[in-house]
Amino acid sequence: MRRVLIANRGEIAVRIVRACFDEGIESVLAVSECDRDSLAARLADRTVAIGPSPASDSYLSVDRIVAAALFAECDAIHPGYGFLSERTDLVEACAEHGITFIGPPAEVMRRSGDKLTARHTANDLGIPTGSGTAGLLTVEDALAAADALNDYPLLLKASAGGGGRGMTVIRNREDVQKHFSRSSNEAERAFGDGTIYLERYVEFARHVEVQIVADSHGNVCHLGERDCSTQRRYQKLVEEAPAVGLPQDLLERVRNAAVDLAKGLGYIGAGTVEFLVDTERNDFVFLEVNARVQVEHPVTEMVSGIDIVREQLRIAQGHPLSFSQEDVVLDGHAIECRINAEDVTNNFLPRPGRISRWVAPQGEGIRIDTYAFDGAEIPPYYDSMIAKLIVHSDSRENAIDLMARALEKLRVEGVPTTAPLHSALMADKEFQHSPVTTKWLEDEFLPSWEAQVS
């Protein structure tokens, strides 16, 4: 592999440029009009213009991405996350034109990316999935399914995609009628597929996901788990590795289930298997597979010492994994805070603009993945995340302390960010002393914190 087209932007594009450099591979960055002077564009070996700033006319266009790769004579395309990263039509277009797609093959992506198909595979393997339904296309189907399950609260979920789109908690029959059409329409707009299904809603849950890496030689390894329970409206704000405060036998079952599912799907590449851990029943259920690199992959890299993106590049070239399961030893604790350009006092409203001053913290155990610099423009067309601040220490307590000090040193002027919220989280006694559930931030922390800052 000589040359890779990076079909993404922002911090993940910078991250892939770095991995290409480390592997001695030339990086070519696909850039929309507003990203021509981005940090990733400055760091890449070459750039190729792919169209106007709106994502639908650039980063979400399979034709433009493939044309850019062919124009630059690239051997492969790395999709990063989001955008086209889980689109089988891009994978198929790559195969048609002799371009290596850095990710799973199209058929594997279909089996993994469709939540219902992945759920059926998990069921066949004996992995807990909880009570649930097949795909539903009408409100009448949903009402009949809810009556059959009779296990409220339930959760309406989109079969395609993720990020909380199309998800709604259903507490009674009236809620099904009230929310089905909205959830289905939201899924249709976001993913081009309005198929919805129902599953039992775990009221007191922790969101635990397992990083898996698989090569084309049949080797599948997990790199431990991450706890992503600190979230708002199904959007993660803080991620940690490993998950603390859970029985070791439960963690082993979760990790083994992820590996078994990856093998059952014939998975190749880096991916994530997500679970909900029921803290009342001390059990877990399978959620979904993300067939790509995750936003939160750095915390796993920090505790495992394995560069996941470089491993992706090697797997795509047909190499076996550079390690075995026995080589994976988790060391210490890592925390990641997503620094978004948002007004946290105004319902987390995205605030694009120009960063007039950027100072990143430095020190042992501190890592920052970002595209920010003095004068960088945050365009209004894309996700509001501008950086990921990651710390690593020997214990969760010390990692929280290090993150608190790193946040104090972070300086971002010109746009509001979520950094003050993260600082408050690190200082919160409940967050410090006990791993939280997925509803804790919204139900307990945010109401009191917003009252203080408003």
Give the residue numbers marked as catalytic. 292
End-to-end CA distance of the chain: 53
Comparing CA positions, the residue from 328, 296, 113 lying closest to residue 220 is: 328
Three-state SS for 168? strand
Alpha-carbon distance of 124 to 121, in angstroms, equals 5
Three-state SS for 37? coil
Alpha-carbon distance of 247 to 437, in angstroms, equals 16
Q: Which two tokens stand for residue 252?
A: 């082993």
- DSSP calls for 102-138: SS--HHHHHHHHSHHHHHHHHHHTT----SB---B-S
DSSP-derived letter for residue 319 is P
Alpha-carbon distance of 188 to 159, in angstroms, equals 10
Measured CA angle at 76 (ends 75, 80), to 5 deg: 160
Three-state SS for 85? coil
Comparing CA positions, the residue from 433, 351, 345, 358 lying closest to residue 389 is: 358
Q: Which residues are bridge partners to 286 per DSSP?
A: 275
Which phi and psi (to 5°) does residue 401 adopt?
-65, -40
Other Cβ atoms less than 10 A from the Cβ of 207: the count is: 22
